[in-house]
Structure 1
């Protein structure tokens, strides 16, 4: 599959992310979008990223602009650095997907690009760049400002008395996580650092990975285990009951802790956030941070003083207002939805698990099948969408259908309140399944059963 834009930037096979293609996309981006005269360039830890980042830097300089090499750095740290200087940014990352793939994330000086920006970039492809003197090359420690954001934004004793396991794997945020835990008074225990890239999807952790967690808790007497995906824009948190906390639960807890008034979140996120107990206005979007950002911008334009936040089911959190301790950061972030729930538990004098157990009883589960061609998955979804009899046959045993949501993929609500949501990935050969129910067990069973049916149908 040729590299193309999906929900999280441009992605494709490494073998197809050639120097000419990278140069073409960078040139198109800088031609079609504002850049402030400079571009901050960052990368994750997959083997192909240094070379691709070099091509990006060369393309930036060929346009006569300043290329600021930020090295290996989390995506939100890169965005924070570039936005602070009124510059554009390009992150070389494939996020959570395997190392044989990679990609580019683009940022204008105001933040992450939107879908209309993607359209302008695609329209500008293939153009010959104007002749210009070679631009300057600089370096920057973008990680330092990101670390300072959270060591200054939370009390120095936020994690005092807590032993925090840091599942490092090949996350580009692995050393920053240790530093922030120690700066906020916790005892950090680095675990399972890898020199080989591991594609950790925090939204759909594989059973073998999850099976390791209980042993780590016992071995190191952990109070909590934290991690991120490859480029550090999605959080992973395992509470003291040794349960992986869904990203949309972290998002709800973070929104409440920050005193938000408006939450923009995709249709796949846990509907618990709309419970009156939280007092939040909830705007539902398609899946992908560009759609969340667009909804946040619309909410802020309609009500400039509104305390707007956004998050995705994967936990990536976007801050759209000044909290007094933290300035806005309109891109998916991993550290805020890790720290805010832990700070909320400390303020309540309880554990993270107890804080979660006190929430309204609504639970989600998600998983995926890899290796399913996007076109084949889309055709299957189209058939179910158009044919109610086909839906009833495929979802046998789920009960009567009471609602159908086509905001993004196929989302079906059944009698009794259970929900199943099917959606092909926009930038990888994956088929995702989301479920929601009134118990963890039911949600997990729905996903397992539905994925088995999908495998039988699609191979």
Structure 2
């Protein structure tokens, strides 16, 4: 997989993210984007991340840019640290993809880069190496300030008496999440800490992980269990029965808790949000840059979230105990905390049951080369006959199609089937929506089987 930009920054195989390629992109980023007072640098816990971070620091310092090393910390914590000092940032992370891959996520002084910035960076590649040697500083408290942000906004007793599991695995924010929950009064029980990188996709949790989470929850009588992906910008929440709460449902609940007036979310998100009475709901293409663009256009009391649960706060909101400054980058902590708090003295499952009765699921075929997935999705987009043939394998008929991002097909019974190739991994994504869990599960199973036959034979 040659390194290239996708929905979450530059991604590629570690073997192809050479010091020369990394330095070229760093120089281009510095030349093309406003990085203000310098460059904050962070990384996840992949084995390759320290080396790539060192390559970034060396390239930036050679350009005369002051580098502030924030160490290993969640992506939103790095974004907050950069926001506080008016600097740009680069996070070394491959998010949920396997450890043989990694990536760079870029932030200008104003926040996560846009698609226009991405094009400008690509256009600035090939610059000569600098000859300066600027200052290298350390920010050892960036993660601690990130933790305190939520405790101050929610209060020391917000989760008092709650017993919450933490699937730690290799998430860079595992200790920060534990500190937040404990700071809010919860008892935290840790499971599955790993010093070997574990690729956890919170949007498409594999069956073995689901079963393990359910076993932990039931064995220890937990009120909930939480986790994150590798760079801790996407949440994972299980209720007291061991059932995973979809990320977009957490987004709906969090938006309501914070008093948002406008919600911006991708086309793949649960359509129940349109039934909750927000002033406006704007649907975008999939990816935080598109959500951010929609938020900037909307203005006011606006929030954004993705189907994976990453939540973007576009205004200074009021938490249960104090103000919460805006942070318009994907964050996993806020939806986890707000959903747990929203449950009150009841259960998480009872609070989720109050949402509109729409069930979404997401999964994917892995190791699908884009030269196979993209032509297949293009055929679906271009041909009503191809869509009819595909849907016939699922036992459905098409009532309408949306091509905002991939191919989203509404069936005559109201169910939805949405097929989309990943923008930065060799994966073919499938999103389904039905009125109940059983219907969504059946549609997902049939859809994955049909996709496998179509692209893998």
**Which category of TM-score, normalised to the shorter sequence, fits these structures?**
over 0.9
CA–CA distance in 2 between the matches of 1:280 and 1:188?
A: 37
Q: CA deviation at 1:342?
A: 1.2
TM-score, normalization by structure 1: 0.97
Equivalent residues in 2 for 1:248-327, closer than 5 Å: 248-275=248-275, 277-300=276-299, 306-324=300-318, 325-327=323-325
CA–CA distance in 2 between the matches of 1:190 and 1:242?
A: 15
**Structure 1: any 5+ residue segments left out of the alignment?**
301-305
Contact 2:215–2:242 (Cα < 8 Å) also in 1: no
- Aligned-residue CA RMSD (Å): 1.0
Q: CA deviation at 1:336?
A: 0.2
Counterpart secondary structure, 2:70:
strand
What does the per-residue CA deviation read over 1:225-251, in whole Å, with 9 as the maximum and x for residues that have no partner?
000000000000001122100000000
CA–CA distance in 1 between the matches of 2:455 and 2:337?
A: 40
Counterpart secondary structure, 1:189:
strand
2:384 equivalent to 1:388? yes
Q: CA deviation at 1:37?
A: 3.2
Aligned mate of 1:374, from 370, 387, 396: 370
Show the counterpart of 2:350. 354
Show the counterpart of 2:429. 432
Q: CA deviation at 1:215?
A: 1.5
Equivalent residues in 2 for 1:100-119, closer than 5 Å: 100-119=100-119
Contact 1:371–1:430 (Cα < 8 Å) also in 2: yes
What does the per-residue CA deviation read over 1:118-144, in whole Å, with 9 as the maximum and x for residues that have no partner?
00000000111454x311001102101
Q: CA deviation at 1:80?
A: 0.1
Contact 2:262–2:301 (Cα < 8 Å) also in 1: yes
Q: CA deviation at 1:221?
A: 1.8
Contact 1:398–1:414 (Cα < 8 Å) also in 2: no
What does the per-residue CA deviation read over 1:403-428, in whole Å, with 9 as the maximum and x for residues that have no partner?
10000000000111100000000111
CA–CA distance in 1 between the matches of 2:396 and 2:193?
A: 45
CA–CA distance in 2 between the matches of 1:289 and 1:385?
A: 23
Aligned mate of 1:335, from 324, 333, 336: 333
Q: CA deviation at 1:278?
A: 3.0
Q: CA deviation at 1:443?
A: 1.1
Equivalent residues in 2 for 1:143-292, closer than 5 Å: 143-275=143-275, 277-292=276-291
Q: CA deviation at 1:292?
A: 0.2
Contact 1:159–1:185 (Cα < 8 Å) also in 2: yes
Show the counterpart of 1:303. none
Counterpart secondary structure, 1:259:
coil
CA–CA distance in 2 between the matches of 1:412 and 1:280?
A: 26
4+ runs of 1 displaced by more than 4 Å?
A: none
The alpha-carbon distance between structure 1 residues 442 and 248, as it changes in their structure 2 partners (threshold 3 A), is same
Q: CA deviation at 1:177?
A: 1.1
Contact 1:248–1:311 (Cα < 8 Å) also in 2: yes
Show the counterpart of 1:121. 121
What does the per-residue CA deviation read over 1:375-399, in whole Å, with 9 as the maximum and x for residues that have no partner?
2111001111111111111111443
Contact 1:274–1:280 (Cα < 8 Å) also in 2: no
* Number of residue pairs matched by the alignment: 450
CA–CA distance in 2 between the matches of 1:38 and 1:240?
A: 45
CA–CA distance in 2 between the matches of 1:330 and 1:375?
A: 34
What does the per-residue CA deviation read over 1:6-57, in whole Å, with 9 as the maximum and x for residues that have no partner?
0000000000000000000000000000011310100000100000000011
Equivalent residues in 2 for 1:67-106, closer than 5 Å: 67-106=67-106
**Structure 2: any 5+ residue segments left out of the alignment?**
none
CA–CA distance in 2 between the matches of 1:33 and 1:385?
A: 35
Deviates most, 229-238 or 33-42: 33-42
